[in-house]
């Protein structure tokens, strides 16, 4: 933060919310649930996440945690570093199907059709039966889309559209002059 250029808003904070000035100057997470927009603008994103996570259960401070004068548990420096260094969690997508290459059993996800095709072509020793298996699996994973509706020319404005009724109701249909 020292090498970044940013405006100093300490005078504004001092005049409107003096109890938050120390938190702004030291970049500590204040506990102000009634004004989350204000809190979010002065705190780093990785600290923002920690401030609104549910508080740890228990009556005392856990090992490695320090409590401040208001009773709020603050994470130790090691945990702060871990929080900002951790990569974001990947979303589980159970609806995506996997297909395996029959020659080497390498899995490919549902959105990687071209990678799988390139990989299959690189295997010269695949039999015709294995090629048929891959083609059948690809048809299941990536069904062919139906033909698109033919576009018609609007008699009012001259644009080519697929859904004439919706086009005429929209603001896009401006009569020619």
SS (H, E, C) 59-102: CCCCCCEEECCCCCEEECHHHHHHHHHCCCCCCCCCCCCCEECC
The pLDDT, as a whole number, for residue 126 is 77
The pLDDT, as a whole number, for residue 134 is 76
The pLDDT, as a whole number, for residue 9 is 82
The pLDDT, as a whole number, for residue 61 is 47
Residues of the chain with confidence (pLDDT) below 50: 43, 48, 59-64
Q: How far apart are the C-alpha atoms of 79 and 66, rounded to whole Å?
A: 11
Residues contacting residue 107 through CB under 8 Å, at least 6 positions apart: 98, 99, 100
Q: What tokens were used for 155?
A: 């008699």
The pLDDT, as a whole number, for residue 172 is 83
The pLDDT, as a whole number, for residue 64 is 47
The pLDDT, as a whole number, for residue 88 is 61
């Amino acid at each position: 933060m020292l090498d970044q250029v940013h405006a100093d808003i300490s005078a504004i904070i001092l005049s409107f919310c003096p109890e938050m000035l120390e938190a702004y100057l030291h970049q500590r997470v204040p506990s102000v649930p009634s004004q989350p927009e204000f809190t979010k603008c002065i705190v780093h994103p990785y600290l923002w996440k920690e401030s609104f996570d549910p508080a740890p259960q228990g009556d005392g401070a856990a090992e490695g945690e320090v409590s401040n004068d208001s009773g709020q548990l603050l994470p130790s420096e090691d945990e702060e570093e871990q929080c900002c260094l951790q990569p974001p969690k990947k979303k589980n997508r159970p609806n995506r199907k996997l297909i395996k290459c029959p020659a080497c059993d390498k899995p490919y996800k549902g959105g990687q059709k071209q990678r799988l095709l390139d990989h299959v072509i690189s295997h010269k020793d695949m039999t015709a039966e294995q090629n048929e298996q891959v083609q059948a699996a690809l048809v299941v994973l990536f069904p062919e889309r139906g033909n698109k509706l033919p576009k018609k020319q609007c008699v009012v404005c001259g644009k080519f559209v697929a859904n004439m009724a919706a086009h005429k109701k929209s603001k896009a249909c401006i009569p020619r002059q």
